[in-house]
Amino acid sequence: TLRGNKLQKLAQASRGTGNARSKPQQVLLSSVLGRQPQLFDRNKVSAGGRFITRIDELPARYQTATKLFLSNNSLTSLQGIQQFKNVQVLTLAHNLLGNLEEVLECLEDLRCLEVLTLEGNPCSELPHYRAHVIASLPGLRVLDTFEVEHYEGAAAIELLEQEDSYLAMMLHNACMVHKMAHTLQQLHLHRELFGVLYGRKGRAVCKGAPLAIPINPIRKMELWDYESSLSLQERQAITAALTREVSRMYKLGLAAAQQEGGRVTWEGAFTQVLLAQQQTMTKLMDLINRARATLVEEVQTRVLSGVMTALKIEADVQQRALQGDREQL
């Protein structure tokens, strides 16, 4: 009907408007400076709090800036920051920078950088954030308003080596949890398949059905080198998830320390995650052992029942044949 067509058009228009509103709007640094040229003063760019989402390429006169103030914007990446080769002071506080590795890759090209602020970004809440920055930018003098002490360089390297060790153990445990969960699922499927093939009485429902022999889950997990099969992207994704979990544990520790007192360390947060992984593996191993024991018992019971039934049928057939021979005589 005409009214129905109008309503349909209105609904489509409404959906279209909603999609347009939900699409994030890009705010380029060049656009902000073009509209407000007073934000650039000789060697200084003061573009804080302008909702900037991307640092695009600027004319050469801007690229010579030695001071760049970009705090309180909406930056999710620092791609484009490399054009400011002479920058000495860079403020990026309270943006949306979450990938610390990418941030540091961009900043490593800024050889003149001495003063940096990244506080208030998601990346500043990651484990040993300050150590990562200091180790990657050895020429830095001030980070987040605190001077970089002479001993922090060597200490940062030691902390990051320890962090790598923790992450390697956590990655191995995460792969083990995956293997154990997969093995447990296979045992459940094996049991269901056995029930379908052999039925309640232990006789094969499908002709030629193989005898269901439970796998050795421990041996299977030893032979399955799942960790080596991971791609670089998969390793990075798992490591990032584990790092976020460590950060979550650290925040929980901070909240508890504020109420109850005590000291919170990143090492303690790593240890808590490792302990949680160990507890998960212990529970999974218990479930695997129970599932395999149940499967073995069912195989033995049903197959034995099937064998006894088959022997009884064979004996009955022989008895009837013998009785028929006697009647003929």
Q: Tens digit of pLDDT for each residue in 127-153?
A: 999 999 999 999 999 999 999 999 999
From 148, 178, 193, give the residue that closes a domain. Answer: 148
Which residues touch 232 (CB under 8 Å, ≥6 apart)? none
Confidence of residue 156 (pLDDT cuts 50, 70, 90): very high
Weakest-pLDDT range from 103-117, 166-180, 219-233: 219-233
Q: Are residues 96 and 194 in the same domain?
A: no
* CATH at residue 77: 3.80.10.10
17 plus 89 within the same structural domain: yes
The gap from C-alpha 13 to its chain's centroid, in whole angstroms, comes to 38
Over range 71-97, report the average pLDDT.
97
Residues 126 and 211 in one domain: no
Query: Which segment of 98-107, 173-182, 248-257 scores lowest on mean pLDDT?
Result: 248-257
The model's pTM is: 0.76
Bigger pLDDT: 126 or 23? 126
Does 215 or 202 have the greater pLDDT score? 215
321 against 98, higher pLDDT: 98
Q: Does 109 share its domain with 188?
A: no
Query: By three-state DSSP, how is residue 67 classified?
Result: strand
**Same domain for 238 and 318:** yes
> Tokens 């001071």 appear where?
67
Give residue 157's pLDDT: 95
Specify if 192 maps to a domain: yes
> pLDDT at position 255, please?
86
172 shares a domain with 78: no
Mean pLDDT score across all residues of the chain: 85
Closest CA to 130 of 266, 232, 230: 266
Sign of the torsion formed by the C-alpha atoms of 228, 232, 238 and 242: positive
CB 55 within 8 A of CB 26: no
C-alpha dihedral sign at 95, 100, 101, 106: positive
Report, as an integer, the average pLDDT of 294-316. 63
Q: Are residues 283 and 206 in the same domain?
A: yes
Share of the chain above pLDDT 90, in %: 64
Same domain, 169 and 262: yes
In tens, the pLDDT along 4-61 reads 454 344 444 444 444 434 446 899 999 999 999 999 998 999 999 999 999 999 999 9
Decide if 93 contacts 121 (C-beta within 8 A). Answer: yes
> By residue range, what is the domain housing residue 257?
163-328
What is the sign of the dihedral through the CA atoms of 124, 126, 127 and 129? negative
Q: What pLDDT is stored for residue 200 in this prediction?
A: 54
Same domain for 171 and 291, yes or no, is: yes
Share of the chain above pLDDT 70, in %: 78
Query: Does the structure show a pLDDT above 60 at 274?
Result: yes
> Residue 111 pLDDT > 80, yes or no?
yes
Q: Do 34 and 72 belong to one domain?
A: yes
Tokens describing residue 252: 């929980």
What is the DSSP pairing of strand 40-41 with strand 44-46?
antiparallel
Higher pLDDT, 321 or 213: 321
Lowest average pLDDT, out of 68-72, 104-108, 216-220, 324-328, goes to 324-328
- 178 in the same domain as 100: no
Q: Is the pLDDT of residue 2 over 70?
A: no
Decide which of 56 and 306 is more confident.
56
**What pLDDT was estimated at residue 298?**
75
pLDDT digits (tens, 9 = 90+) for 206-261: 545 455 555 677 888 888 899 999 999 999 999 999 999 999 999 999 888 887 77
Instruction: Indicate the DSSP class of residue 54.
Output: B
Q: What one-character DSSP code corresponds to residue 58?
A: -
Tokens 């129905």, residue? 4
Domains in the chain: how many in total?
Answer: 2
213 domain residue, yes or no: yes
Q: What are phi and psi of 90, to 5 degrees?
A: -135, 115
Looking at residue 47, its pLDDT comes to 97
Euclidean distance between CA atoms 246 and 275, whole angstroms: 12
Q: Where are the alpha helices (DSSP H) in the chain?
A: 2-22, 29-35, 60-63, 100-107, 129-136, 152-198, 217-223, 232-260, 266-328
What's the rounded mean pLDDT across residues 85-99? 97
Q: Tell me how far apart the alpha carbons of residues 174 and 171 are, in angstroms, rounded to a whole number.
A: 5
